[in-house]
């Protein structure tokens, strides 16, 4: 694969040759995006996995603020298969892997207890995507998902772009999606990046002492199989409330039933918006010690907050380790199990329509 932008000597210390491999007849590679002010993002075309996001702290010291791997073999064989990857065809869970569309029942691959999770075991996170355009600060990938893949109807053609922009004193990673289908199908694309603004290390510290604000008055409660109950409940008066910034770990071990069901936070928040589909501020996440801060913006109606409750301490890039709750995810999406809940925002894409999504992770210092 011809990668015309240099990958050697990058801030993350990743080596291109460690990411060059033939997987199912397609070539994988390492790609480095650089902003005009020096920030860097490293990605691979296997699952469009983000490998590193190098951002400065309040003293100008750069660190990798995502839980990444340092070789393609480690990405492929990661104990966390969705680590920083694109997720599809359907992010999050579909109850028992079953839904009905246009009078026909569809059965998906089951890979999470009784449910289908994140598009199945060979979803978009486990596919080698094609590179169709690359500049110094952006890269566009494409993948064509065939009719019937993991049980989903219709051939879905996806284009996804990572773009790193400098804006005033901020660095912003844009993730932009477009997709079309030849048959009605659920579509719920997202990125499953695990962030830690302290930077990865051995061990990577818990996010529990970091701070969080979420622009949401409501959340989607789940049962003990992490499937929405069908309710949309107020966060008010509960440990689910992040409308006033608080320490992530302040209530995480509370015996509140929802936190018991998720083993911590693993819930979709209903982002406050004036108009459906508008690009709106969803969350502010910060690390007081390093001074790093990240703002989340998205066009999606929901953001799944996941506090890495099931991370098991496995090794990542350059010997870093990732214990439980050492990463936090903000997965922009429609609500879980929406094909089976008529009053949730629809995830159905019809022929002739275009799916679009923009999610922005914007970095700065306090």
pLDDT tens, position by position, 23-66: 999 999 999 999 999 999 999 999 999 999 999 999 999 999 99
Q: Do the domain assignments include residue 278? A: no
Q: How many CB atoms lie within 10 A of CB 35?
A: 19
DSSP code of 40?
A: E
What is the helix (H) or strand (E) element at residue 234, kind and residue range?
strand 233-234
Q: Do the domain assignments include residue 325? A: yes
214: its two tokens: 């979420």
Q: Which position among 192, 295, 300, 362 bears the catalytic label?
A: 192
| Separation CA 298–CA 195 (nearest Å) | 17
The candidate with the shortest Cα–Cα distance to 167, out of 51, 36, 48, is 36
* CA R_g for the chain: 19
Q: Do the domain assignments include residue 321? A: yes
Q: How far is CA 53 from CA 15, 120, 143, 235, 352, in A?
A: 15, 27, 23, 31, 36
This prediction's pTM: 0.97
- Catalytic residue list contains 274: no
Which residue stretches of the chain have pLDDT < 70?
Answer: 1-4, 6
- Catalytic residue list contains 192: yes
Q: Do the domain assignments include residue 166? A: yes
User: Phi and psi for 100 in degrees, rounded to 5?
Assistant: -115, 130
Q: Do the domain assignments include residue 364? A: yes
Mean pLDDT score of the chain, rounded to an integer? 97
Q: What per-residue confidence (pLDDT) applies to 2?
A: 56
Angle at 174 between CA 49 and CA 337, to 5 degrees: 65
- As for how many domains the chain has, the answer is 1
Could you list the residue range(s) of the whole structural domain that residue 100 is in?
1-207+290-366
Q: Do the domain assignments include residue 318? A: yes
Instruction: Scan for tokens 């691959």, then name that residue.
Output: 109
| Separation CA 336–CA 345 (nearest Å) | 10
Q: What percent of the chain has pLDDT over 70?
A: 98
Residue 303: CATH number of its domain: 2.70.98.10
């Amino acid at each position: 694969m011809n990668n015309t932008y240099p990958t050697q000597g990058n801030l993350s210390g990743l080596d291109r040759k460690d990411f060059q491999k033939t997987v199912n007849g397609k070539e994988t590679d390492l790609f480095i995006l650089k902003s005009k002010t020096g920030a860097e993002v490293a990605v691979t075309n296997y699952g469009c996995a983000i490998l590193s996001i190098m951002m400065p702290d309040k003293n100008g010291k750069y660190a990798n603020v995502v839980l990444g791997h340092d070789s393609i073999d480690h990405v492929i064989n990661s104990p966390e298969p969705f680590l920083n990857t694109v997720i599809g065809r359907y992010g999050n869970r579909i109850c028992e892997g079953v839904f009905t569309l246009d009078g026909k029942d569809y059965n998906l691959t089951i890979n999470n207890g009784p449910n289908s999770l994140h598009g199945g075991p060979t979803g978009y996170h486990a596919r080698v995507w094609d590179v169709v355009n690359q500049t110094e600060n952006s890269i566009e990938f494409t993948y064509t998902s065939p009719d019937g893949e993991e049980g989903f109807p219709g051939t879905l053609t996806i284009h996804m772009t990572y773009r790193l922009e400098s804006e005033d004193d901020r660095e912003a990673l844009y993730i932009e999606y477009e997709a079309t289908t030849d048959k009605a199908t659920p579509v719920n694309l997202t990125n499953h990046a695990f962030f830690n603004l302290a930077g990865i290390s051995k061990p990577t510290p818990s996010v529990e002492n970091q701070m969080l604000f979420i622009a949401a008055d409501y959340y989607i409660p789940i049962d003990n199989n992490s499937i929405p109950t069908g309710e949309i409940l107020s966060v008010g008066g509960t440990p689910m409330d992040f409308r006033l910034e608080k320490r992530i770990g302040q209530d995480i071990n509370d015996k509140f039933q929802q936190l018991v069901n998720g083993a911590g936070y693993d819930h979709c928040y209903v982002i406050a918006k004036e108009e459906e589909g508008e690009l709106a501020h969803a969350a502010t996440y910060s690390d007081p010690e390093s001074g790093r801060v990240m703002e989340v913006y998205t066009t999606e109606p929901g953001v799944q907050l996941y506090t890495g409750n099931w991370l098991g301490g496995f090794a990542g890039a350059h010997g870093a380790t990732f214990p439980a709750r050492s990463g936090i995810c903000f997965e922009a999406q429609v609500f879980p199990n929406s094909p089976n809940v008529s009053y949730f925002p629809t995830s159905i894409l019809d022929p002739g329509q275009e799916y679009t999504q923009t999610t922005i992770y914007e970095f700065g210092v306090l």
